Amino acid sequence: MRINPTAVFGAAGFFCGKFGSKCMIHPGPAKIRTRIGKGAGRMWNSIIKWLPGWGELLQSLMILAIPLGLTRMMLWIRAQEGKASTRGQRAEGKKGGGVPSSEDTAEAAQSSIAASDKKKSGAEASAGGEETGPPLRYSGCLEEDVAKFRAACADMSDVNVRRLQIGSLRIPAALFFVDGLTDKEGMDINILKPLMNAVLAFEGISALPPPEELKVIVTQRILQVSEIEYTNEVMQSLKKVLFGSAVLLVEGMSEVFVLGTSKGNTRAVEEPISEALLRGPRVGFNETLSDNTALLRRHGQHTGLVMRSFTVGERIEKEMILTYIKGIANEELIEEIVRRIHTINIDDVQESGFIEQLLEDNYLSPFQQIQSTERPDRVMAALLEGRAALLLDGTPFALIMPVTFGMLLQSPEDYYDRWFSGSLLRILRFGAATISLFAPALYISFLSFHPGLIPTKLAISIISSRQGVPFPTLVEALIMEVAIEILREAGLRLPKPIGPAMGIVGGLIIGQAAVEAGIVSPILVIVVALTAISSFSVPMYSAGITLRLLRFVAMFFAAFFGLYGIVLFFLLLSSHLINLKSFGVPYLSMITPYRMSDLRDFVIRIPLQLMKRRPTMLQPQDKIRKR
């Protein structure tokens, strides 16, 4: 087949004419190719012109990818948490919220208690060494028993022994104690002196009496100590000595006397530094557990105040008290708390913060699900609502559970003042918390994405103040926020007379120098200062740390997506709070599930005359608070 060149060139000219090209019907081949190329280039330019730029495409992809990625990450985190902990299998509660049901907690509680008993029995059998056989016991021969005790504490140079003879029969005995933990003066007056001068107690007895009779004579006629226990295990008696007690070994007795002679340098009862009030009790917990329980008892005479003792710590044991009011607290809640306490298997519980982290529902959440406090009045108020509290020996911070979001922004002073002032202060705290969380993010989003939403005169003033600032708004805000956080942390660690002054002077100097150097704008200094002041109004220090952490996340969302990013961040935060629970109680239980009775003490504190019921979300046994 023969191709006609004239027909081909004519068709090419026709298509060029359709695209607006003025080409000849019979030009040369080179010119035709040039004109066809120019027409096609114009066509593709017109098509590409209507396509979005790479920046818009990237932004659209990130708008779609980031929510999907966050969703997948949250699902993965929840799956990992479910694998690492059995708490995700407990009951969700009744009617959309509340404490776990008894059917679901009974079996878990029994299994955890059995495992804890087995673990503790194994630990006691192997304490002081690697032996796993039967526990070492006393025989009744004094020299042999002393040798066993010395072998158990061979590496403890602070354990001392005092040899003595009891009464007119001169019965050999030995008294073990720890120097510094035992009250030596009380031991000399109430133990050693009565034992060595006991004459009337053995009147009419010429030979060594049987062990039971000797036990009665020593405890009822000689010793002048209020706390006396008995044990025949060597390691158990050694533990008591290391806690400050004295152990008395007597010839012919296979049981030893554990005498309460502990001495401690306790701190006086003082006003809590972290929770100062203008009106209210000037009393706070200290590091001694007995003093803390006494403070709760002194709050008022009530026979229903229960205090259950637990021992926590695998190697270094400490006493912990679970307290609640019988007849008010839900029994299923108490069973769940006890079950979780039995799951604690750590070497040493140095502070109540360890307990808080080991018992909380979601350890990956930035929000605290257990509230810490130094104030006995706050603890008693929580107990009267139907909550429970934990007191640990060696720390002044008690733990309150379960916790809702509203508790983080409430203060005991709200109830000591009249409801007008209490409600006003509470509203101010909620507003300050919102400013602390979103103020820098709003500054970044308005200046970077939505300057048209700013009033004209204010926009002109802001633009003129930013002249010469070399950094984008995100970097500018991060510089100031990080500087404020460093100053705040430095002020806390410095001595009290220097810390506040250093924080104020450092903030003024750094802010003024940064503005004069052109690193930041004056309007940002105002925003950061307002944010820092607002964060100080949060009553709970740990809640303020959470807001400070989330503030940086909100700033990055605003830097990438503007106001849409802030809305997205708020939705993700709300979704997390709705799903969060504290011991089966929804974190936002005052809002969702909706309960009008609980809203009366959320943002606005209604008069006490109308607060007749306890919080419904806790499902207390006695729902009536005021009759």
pLDDT band at 191 (very low <50, low <70, confident <90, very high): very high
Q: Tell me, what DSSP letter sits at residue 517?
A: T
Higher-confidence position of 594 and 24: 594
Distance, CA of 282 to CA of 271 (rounded, Å): 5
| Mean pLDDT lowest among 209-223, 259-273, 328-342, 529-543 | 259-273
CB-count burial class (<10 Å; 0-12, 13-18, 19+) for 175: buried
Token representation of residue 461 = 């003033």
Q: Mean pLDDT, the chain, as a whole number?
A: 81
Give the amino acid at 144: E
Distance, CA of 38 to CA of 6 (rounded, Å): 21
Q: Are 532 and 484 in contact (CB under 8 A)?
A: yes
Domain ranges for the chain: 5-49, 54-84, 142-259, 289-403, 417-610
For position 372, what pLDDT does the model report? Answer: 93
Cα dihedral sign, 269-275-281-282: positive
Q: Are 556 and 572 in contact (CB under 8 A)?
A: no
Q: Is the pLDDT score of 8 beyond 70? A: no
Q: E strand or H helix at 110, and its extent?
A: helix 102-125
pLDDT band at 45 (very low <50, low <70, confident <90, very high): low
pLDDT tens-digit series, residues 306-315? 999 999 998 8
pTM of the entire predicted model: 0.76
- Would you call the peptide bond into 593 cis, given omega within 30 degrees of 0 as the criterion? yes
Q: How far does Cα 519 stand from its chain's mean position?
A: 37
For position 51, what pLDDT does the model report? Answer: 60
pLDDT band at 133 (very low <50, low <70, confident <90, very high): low
Q: Tell me, what DSSP letter sits at residue 190?
A: I
Distance, CA of 138 to CA of 250 (rounded, Å): 11
Region 134-144: what's the mean pLDDT?
A: 89
CB atoms within 10 A of CB 235: 20
Higher-confidence position of 425 and 490: 425
Region 537-543: what's the mean pLDDT?
A: 87
**322 DSSP β-pair partners:** 308, 390
Residue with tokens 């309150």: 400
Region 498-512: what's the mean pLDDT?
A: 74
Distance, CA of 454 to CA of 466 (rounded, Å): 15
Higher-confidence position of 527 and 50: 527
